[in-house]
A and B are shown apart, each in its own frame.
Chain A
């Protein structure tokens, strides 16, 4: 399971979803693996506005990543296939910034190429543990928690 995924997960127990403690889930005993995924800067730029940065920092710290900027990088969105007007700055910057490029590469590695192969994710509200085995996280609840 890739790290970007964690930003869109919470506890499967309904009552936990309204508690701020349930997001993000917390890693325990995580074993990581680097995979090789094609670098796609426009995908990253487009997805970044949807990333909860504070949650990502918590996740990154738990997994031992120290390169995440303290603030979400302010990157121009990639040219879009929608009718939404693009910010004016997007028109002006045709050359990608070198510093931006480094930030983007690091984010690509962290969000998309880093896989959690084994380990657990724990809800900070109810303490329920979700196991990750062979890269697949399992959120099925025992029946007494599933109501």
Chain B
């Protein structure tokens, strides 16, 4: 599919421009991330009691507080964020890569991956990330509607949108989709440094309209519902029945 050299280049790139950044900004980042987004909240609250699922790229685990009647195995690349996420009972958090998830195939009722896949730096890797999520979901049975309780596991995926003219970033259709986004961390001046803030740049791929649905289809998924909410594209999908 791709040369291992190219693959390892993108791994190194993401290590420097995504993973290392989150590891350093973990606690500041976490203090700004506490309010669940409405569509994610609804998805998690609507799950039947006793459902078992994943939060892939859980960050500080803010979505683990939404529904205590399901069991969520949350994972993130950042050890420092996982440390914060482990405090949400009865759930659990581990350090894992979203391209090599350490879970049995075809086993889970649901998975959410909120603001995560946009950090992967090539189209192939973004599609692989969706495929990795789909592979752990219980398969869908042909002929049954997506809303049925007896149907397969489902996933909710959120990514940052290119079309956000009214946000403070101001990106719009036609703009460059692969961007570096600064995270400014304010700090108290110390004896060693008089600087009052430090800037970290994170890599993002900004999704244009229809791109998330395209990636899900490429990865073998079937989109049940999708939309745009506050500068993000989202989609709910199952494994394509068949």
Chain A contact residues, CB within 8 Å of chain B: 1-2, 4-5, 8-14, 17-18, 23, 37-38, 40, 42-43, 45-47, 49-50, 77-78, 80-84, 112, 130, 134-141, 143, 146-147
Contact = CB atoms under 8 A, between A and B. Distances in A.
A141 B100 contact: yes
A40 B50 contact: no
Main secondary structure, interface of A, reads loop
Interface string B226-240: 000000000000000
A1 B92 contact: yes
A17 B83 contact: no
Given A5-B92, A45-B50, A139-B75, 4 more contacts: A9-B94, A80-B49, A112-B90, A136-B83
A139 B82 CA distance: 12
A42 to B, nearest CB: 7
B102 A139 contact: yes
Contacts of B69: 42-43, 46, 81
Contact of B73 (A8, A11, A46, A81): A8
A147 B82 contact: no
B174 interface: no
Interface stretch (B4-12, B25-33, B34-42, B176-184): B4-12
Contacts of A13: 100
A84 B52 CA distance: 17
Interface string B67-84: 011010101010100110
| A-B complex: 4 closest residue pairs judged by Cβ atoms | A46-B50, A12-B102, A139-B102, A139-B96
A82 B49 contact: yes
Contacts of B164: none
B97 A47 contact: no
Given A135-B86, A136-B83, A143-B11, A81 B48 contact: yes
Interface of B: 4, 7-8, 11, 48-50, 52, 68-69, 71, 73, 75, 77, 79, 82-83, 86, 89-90, 92-97, 99-105, 107-108, 149
B102 A37 contact: no
B103 A9 contact: yes
A47 B50 contact: yes
Contacts of A81: 48-49, 69
Contacts of A18: 105
Nearest to A131: B95
Given A137-B95, A138-B94, A10 B102 contact: yes
Given A47-B71, A130-B102, A140-B96, A8 B82 contact: no
Given A14-B100, A139-B95, A84 B86 contact: no
A29 to B, nearest CB: 18
Contacts of A8: 52, 73, 103-104, 107-108
